[in-house]
Chain A
Amino acid sequence: MGNRRVVIDPITRIEGHLRIEVEVDENNVVQKAYSSSTLWRGIELILKGRDPRDAGLMSQRICGVCTYSHYKAGVEAVENALGVEAPYNAQLVRSLLNESLYMHDHVVHFYHLHGLDWVDVVSALSADPEKASRLAFKYSDLPIATGTDELTAVQKRVKEFVDKGQLGPFANAYWGNKTYKFSPEQNLIALSHYLKALEVQRVAAQMFAIFGAKQPHPQSLVVGGVTCVRDILSPTRLAQWKEKYKIVKDFIDRAYQADIVMAAEAYGTEETVLGGVGVKNFLAADAFMLNRTENLFQSGYIKNGDLSQAYDIDDMKIEEDVTHAWYKGTTPLQPYDGVTEPEYTGFIDGDTVNGEAKIIDETQKYSWVKAPRYDGEAMEVGPLSCLLVNYARGNKKVQDEVGAFLKRTGLPVGALFTTLGRTAARMLQTKLISDNAITTFNSLVENIKSDDSTYTKFEIDPSQEYTGRFIGEVPRGTLSHWVRIKDGVIENYQAVVPTTWNAGPMDGNGTIGPYEASLVGLKLEDPTKPLEVLRVIHSFDPCMSCSVHVMDMKGVELSEFKVNPMSSGTSC
């Protein structure tokens, strides 16, 4: 009997549109995996010919989840091209916003997007609230939202929900799967935190909005600096930020951290979460300015899971391959020189474990995501990469935090190179960021006593050509934006985003990317209910709109493009 195909489309609880297909053998072990993004928007093409100052606000619309990431990248890529340096205050505010974003984004990801892969909501109904309340003290000295009365109320609410058989957004999930490992009491604790996190994330969004104007889609950065000068000069606003910061940090310390320790204990022997790192090369960028001399994380990459050595990144070794992506061409290109045209070939008819469907033809092109490579190799990016690179770099803060976690859970270093490790790394990164964001904040408070500058004036000379890029760390990993400016407008724009690194298809050499590699070898309990696949893929925190934006018609004028047959359906 040959391999059988499993199609999962849509992958839900992510940003955007993603299809995953796997082939399982007779023992339901994944032999091959394919990752396909099923939406293309063309934002980079739209950026061509525009004022470079619009790059940040427009590229921000790549994503409304990591909403600030592309805004900052777009603004700083243009600054890099023009040779503009934003004032120290502006740099600190940008760092503070990035820290605030992480504190929001990672909490939402773990509880509301990824959490249901670990927590069986139905199982929580049979828990003993009193026992659960006592158990919470095992994972935190001061647990949050786990009093007996609170847990009883949570249980009652969900029970009524389930009894009616009207589950709304919880309907038709893979409840009862044998790879769910939490006890009913542990499920109840996590469920209570799921609800509490809904409240806390609103506070985190407010914390961001104090200097960001709004969340999602902030509006307080400009090429040359920031605009929120009144907010940073107001003691009231500063105090508001600090109050909200304390609330969010408290939740991270007392709930998020505790729940990951609890997951490490419960899932420490579950085989389907102890694999899941198929690509062992990891890349990370500099991030989080704490003061004039110190960043929280440093850039670099490591190879083959070797933590003894980290290498410096050479921008020019980043390339994107489109052999199996729905674009013309097969030659990998550096983003400054990317040439790309859509070439959609669609799906083919095929059999799956659920019946007939459209399936991927892996011998052809099969995704809107490109395949980025560093020096020809696939790389994983994200919180796990950030920690591993910094561990290898000898970053003491990271080494101490990771070491303490391993000691507390009794897990070996090797446990980091797993799906569980990837999920734990996101918490550890959030913890490090929330512990250190206050240093950035204090640096700002100290500096504004003697310096209230927030903006550097600049000019764009239409007779000059400019080239610049941003490389930095955002919630899903390493992000880079690349811009060429000519005649005072954007000539060329490329974004190489974290999810592209992780979700890309096979390249011209047959090398597969992190999503696909992480699924091979995974055993499924029931291929028609592939919870295990969701758990692995969600551990990357997919953000598909981010990864699908790529379009570069270098040398083709906008007016010419309007008669391109690909755009024949264009509205007026």
Chain B
Amino acid sequence: MNGFDALYAKAKDRIHALSELPSIKEESIEQMLEGRGIERRDFMKWAAGITAMLALPSQFTPLFAEAAKMADRVPLVWLHMAECTGCSESLIRSDAPTIDSLIFDYISLEYHETLMAAAGWQAEENLNNALKKYAGRYVLLVEGGVPTAMNGQYLTLGPQGRTGLSVVTEAAKDAAAIFSIGTCAAFGGIQAAAPNPTGAKGVDKVISQPVINVPGCPPSASNIVGTLMHFLLFGTLPALDRYHRPKWAYGNRIHDLCERRGHFDAGEFVESFGDDGAKGGWCLYKQGCKGPYTFNNCSTERFNQHVNWPIGAGHGCMGCSEPDFWDTMGPLEKPIDSHLVMGLNSTVDKIGTTLLTATLVGIGAHAVASIFMNKNDENEG
């Protein structure tokens, strides 16, 4: 069996397995969509979009539509560790009027502190019930880093004052899959920046189960939903890079598909915020843009239903989906020190000197960056 057939068979098996599970909600997703005025054609368009986003052949589109219909078989438990709630906020903003958000609305959200009506003892009861009732079936999503110093007591939860560390460890035990949503859950995030006073760590550093990292500060809603859809369709983890990020979303550098890339190659740089280069939309590398070292799909997905993104708004990428970026990429509005990037800076300086060779040098500069990044990028698990 070739690769395509194997993958296709896997998806079919998965849908069959899902269909055997009892539905948590009785109304089918089609009825639900119909009730909201969404036609089947729009639904199929959405499924095609997800298929393309995950870089799968178009034959998978009907399978996604099928998988989406089974979404209500998967209960979600969302935990908040050391965080700012930005990832939940990102999720709440998710694509109107398309149906990403409806899928989320429709998936059975069993525990989510920002959104749930219950509080206190009743909230804790909801969590315990969900972990028990849906053992082996629920998807665990974690937002925030896990404080580990002082025996984890920098974060306690619930009437019994349990540490965040113990809650996340217990919830991970019987989860069907675990997603670290955002850079804090994936890599520790801002609280893990030096000197990391609370010993904050990414979820995968404190539990033994496999974790899919969906970093970003915050990640876009489409990266969260797309990753979930992959799990729904195949029932397995997607292809991951060495940092356990799904390759379909984090496979390219920001720089690779940047709308200002042409200016980089032409050696045209913003020299000062607000100058003519800034007004012309030139490359922000010299203002500290970390696009060449950052793996994410912001260049194409953007934010808030494609309205804008940092580079669009004239600010360089700060590398927020990379591990330890607060420490390794700061100061954020300056290019990374040349000793770290093997001469990329000096190459950029040359670009300013002669327009004639600018394009060639620009390409050369990119090649240098590529060599540097490939060290991290290749041979991933």
Binding site for B on A (CB under 8 A): 7-17, 38-43, 45-46, 50-51, 53-54, 57-58, 61-65, 67, 87, 108, 112-113, 116, 121, 153, 156-157, 160, 164, 166, 168-174, 198-199, 201-203, 205-206, 208-220, 222, 224-225, 227-231, 233, 240, 342, 344, 346-347, 352, 354, 357-358, 452-455, 457, 528-530, 534, 545, 551, 558, 561-562, 566-571
Contact = CB atoms under 8 A, between A and B. Distances in A.
A65 B273 contact: no
A166 B25 contact: yes
B149 A568 contact: yes
Given A173-B117, A225-B273, A545-B83, 9 more contacts: A9-B159, A43-B191, A51-B333, A210-B308, A213-B308, A227-B274, A230-B312, A455-B275, A570-B149
Closest 9 CB pairs of A and B: A64-B86, A455-B274, A569-B199, A569-B149, A173-B117, A227-B314, A51-B331, A213-B313, A214-B303
Given A54-B331, A199-B97, A570 B199 contact: yes
Q: Which of A38, A39, A121 has the most CB of B within 10 A?
A: A39
11 contacts: A12-B114, A12-B119, A64-B89, A172-B123, A174-B122, A198-B92, A225-B273, A227-B273, A231-B313, A352-B159, A558-B194
Interface string B191-211: 111111111110001000000
B277 to A, nearest CB: 10
Given A213-B315, A214-B309, A9 B84 contact: no
A9 B157 CA distance: 7
Given A53-B333, A168-B108, A201-B93, A206 B307 contact: yes
Contacts of B305: 202, 206
B90 A216 contact: yes
B35 A153 contact: yes
B336 to A, nearest CB: 13
A241 B80 CA distance: 33
Nearest to B320: A217
Q: Which of B153, B157, B190, B302 has the most CB of A within 10 A?
A: B190
A306 to B, nearest CB: 35
Interface string B282-304: 00000000000000000000111
A9 B163 CA distance: 13
B156 A58 contact: no
A42 B308 contact: no
A53 B332 contact: yes
Contacts of A216: 86, 89-90, 93, 218
Q: Which of A9, A58, A156, A240 has the most CB of B within 10 A?
A: A9
Contacts of B108: 166, 168
B226 interface: no
Interface residues of chain B: helix, strand, loop or mixed (majority): loop
A231 B279 CA distance: 9
Given A169-B109, A452-B279, A46 B159 contact: no
A50 B331 contact: yes
A534 B116 CA distance: 13
Contacts, number: 328
Given A202-B93, A215-B303, A231-B308, A15 B85 contact: yes
B192 to A, nearest CB: 7
A88 B310 CA distance: 22
B115 interface: yes
A216 B93 CA distance: 9
A217 B196 CA distance: 21
A454 B274 contact: yes
A104 B26 CA distance: 34
Contacts of B381: none
A66 to B, nearest CB: 10
B188 A46 contact: no
Contacts of B89: 64-65, 67, 216
Interface in B87-113: 87-90, 92-93, 96-97, 101, 108-110, 112-113
Contacts of A358: 156, 159-161
B125 interface: yes
A202 B83 CA distance: 22
Contact of B196 (A210, A231, A567): A567
Interface of B: 24-27, 35, 80, 82-90, 92-93, 96-97, 101, 108-110, 112-126, 147-150, 153-161, 164, 188-201, 205, 217-218, 272-275, 278-279, 281, 302-305, 307-310, 312-315, 318, 326, 330-334
A528 B115 contact: no
Contacts of A87: 274
A569 B148 contact: yes
B273 A357 contact: no
A535 to B, nearest CB: 11
Contact of A10 (B87, B119, B330): B119
A480 B119 CA distance: 31
Contact of A201 (B85, B92, B190): B92
A433 to B, nearest CB: 20
Contact of A45 (B189, B195, B201, B315): B195
A346 B113 contact: no
A368 B314 CA distance: 37
Nearest to B273: A455
A91 to B, nearest CB: 14
A211 B199 CA distance: 36
Nearest to A203: B96
A170 B196 CA distance: 37
Contacts of A67: 86, 89
B161 A346 contact: yes
B154 to A, nearest CB: 5
Contact of B110 (A168, A174, A352): A168
A112 B91 CA distance: 14
B310 A214 contact: yes
Contacts of A202: 93, 96, 304-305
A215 to B, nearest CB: 6
B82 A41 contact: yes
Contacts of B84: 15-16, 61-65, 545
Nearest to B216: A217
Q: Which of A202, A214, A452, A570 has the most CB of B within 10 A?
A: A214
Nearest to A20: B120
A212 B120 contact: no
A227 B315 contact: yes
Contacts of A217: 86, 217-218
A12 B197 contact: no
Contact of B279 (A64, A219, A220, A229): A229
Nearest to B90: A216
Contacts of A156: 35
Contact of A13 (B26, B114, B121, B279): B114
Contacts of B197: 42, 45-46, 342, 551, 561, 566-567, 570
Given A12-B118, A170-B117, A210-B307, A571 B160 contact: no
Nearest to A528: B121
Q: Which of B25, B281, B303, B318 has the most CB of A within 10 A?
A: B303
Given A12-B113, A225-B273, A43 B85 contact: no
Contacts of B333: 51, 53-54, 222
B218 A64 contact: yes
B117 A51 contact: no
Given A10-B158, A199-B96, A39 B109 contact: no
Contacts of A173: 116-119, 122
A54 B333 CA distance: 8
A11 B122 CA distance: 11
Contact of A8 (B120, B154, B302): B120
A552 to B, nearest CB: 11
Contact of B274 (A42, A166, A453): A453
Contacts of A38: 155-157, 161
Contacts of A63: 84-86
Contact of B313 (A39, A170, A228, A567): A228
B6 to A, nearest CB: 36
B309 A213 contact: yes
B119 to A, nearest CB: 5
